[in-house]
Amino acid sequence: MSEASTLPGYSYADLPGLMALMTGDEKHDLAAESTLDVLWVLYDRILRIRPARASAEPRDRFYLSKGHGPMAYYAILTAKGFIEANELPGYGQFDSVLGRHPDRNLVRGAEISSGSLGHGLPIAVGTALGLRAMGLTRDRVFVLIGDGELDEGSNHEAIAYAGRAGLEALHCVVVDNTSATYGWPGGIQTRFTAEGWSSVRVSGRDHDALEAAFTAAHPGRPHVVIAIV
């Protein structure tokens, strides 16, 4: 389904090596990256995005809202041909395009700049509204947030409105590594389902389960995937 084909020589197994170019850590542990599997499934199986027409339409949008710890993101953008591997070792340096939070004006393939939490989902609501208003009904928006990020009140403005507006084009994945200081009694899902969202809770490491969760039908409603890691 995804149009972002992996470059020759790069597979899922190569991601640790690409991340090591940024960290200098030869034995980078895949499990240390909470977002890696979710991002891989999105770029490998779900998103209709490819470098040759990163700004062309019709296409999907992916907004990385949880912008801190972007090594997995940069590694996957490299594997999918958006950025060059030789840019990775400069990670965080003055002249690098690869900051510790991504800047869409610098990183090819990054569709929003992020770092301050609680911005991606509200922006994605606007894009879903914009696509609908422009009649681009086949385009979809995916946004990745963290469970700790969900503390930010701006998300709850977005969750409530998106549900009432029935934004079917909007897809949110919450990577839940139980980092929210006060947790979410009753479950993260309830914050979305109470507002009319479709929801699925899956392992954030199970690629097939993630793919099924992202492709579940949700007519007339936005969709959230809670990815447990």
Partner 1 sequence: MRERFSRVATELLDTDPKVAVVLADITADAFEPARQRHPDRVVNLGIREQLLISVASGMALAGMRPIAHTFASFLVERPFEQIKLDLNHQGVGAVLVSSGASYDYSAAGRTHQAPGDVALLGTLPGWTVHVPGHPDEAERMLRAATISPGLVYLRLSALANAAPLAVRRLGFTVLRRGAQATVIAVGPLADVVVDATANMDLNVLYAPTIRPFDRQTLRATLADPVIVLVEPYLAGTSVPEVAAALADLPHRVLGLGVAREELRHYGTPEEHQVAHGLDPASLRERIATFLGSESSSRRGRIPARALA
- Chain residues binding partner 1 by CB under 8 A are 61, 103-105, 111-113, 116, 118-119, 122-134, 136, 153-154, 157-158, 160-161
β-bridge mates for residue 146, sequence order: 175
Please state the three-class secondary structure of 65-134 as a single string.
CCCCCCHHHHHHHHHCCCCCHHHHHHCCCCCCCCCCCCCCCCCCCCCCCCCCCCCHHHHHHHHHHHHHHC
| Identity of the residue, 25 or 57, whose beta carbon is nearer to partner 1 in the bound complex | 57
Whose Cβ is closer to partner 1: residue 42's or residue 124's?
Answer: 124
By C-beta, is 35 or 127 nearer to partner 1? 127
Q: How far is the CB of 26 from partner 1 (least distance, A)?
A: 35
Task: Identify the three-state secondary structure at position 222.
Answer: coil
**Which one-letter DSSP state was computed for residue 35?**
T
CB of 139 to partner 1, least distance (A): 8
- Nearer residue to partner 1 within complex by CB, 7 or 136: 136
Nearer to partner 1, 108 or 205 (CB): 108
Cα–Cα distance measured from residue 97 to residue 92, given in angstroms and rounded to the nearest whole number:
8
Shortest distance, position 58 Cβ to partner 1, whole Å: 12
Please report, for the chain, how many H helices and E strands are present, in that order. Answer: 7, 5
Closer CB to partner 1, 30 or 160, in the complex: 160
CB of 126 to partner 1, least distance (A): 2
CA–CA separation, 189 and 81 (whole Å)? 34
* Residues counted in the chain: 229
In the complex, minimum distance from the CB of residue 221 to partner 1, in angstroms, rounded to a whole number = 17
Cβ 41 to partner 1 shortest distance, Å: 23
Query: Would you call 153 helix, strand, or coil by DSSP?
Result: helix
Q: Give the separation between CA 184 and CA 187, rounded to whole angstroms.
A: 5
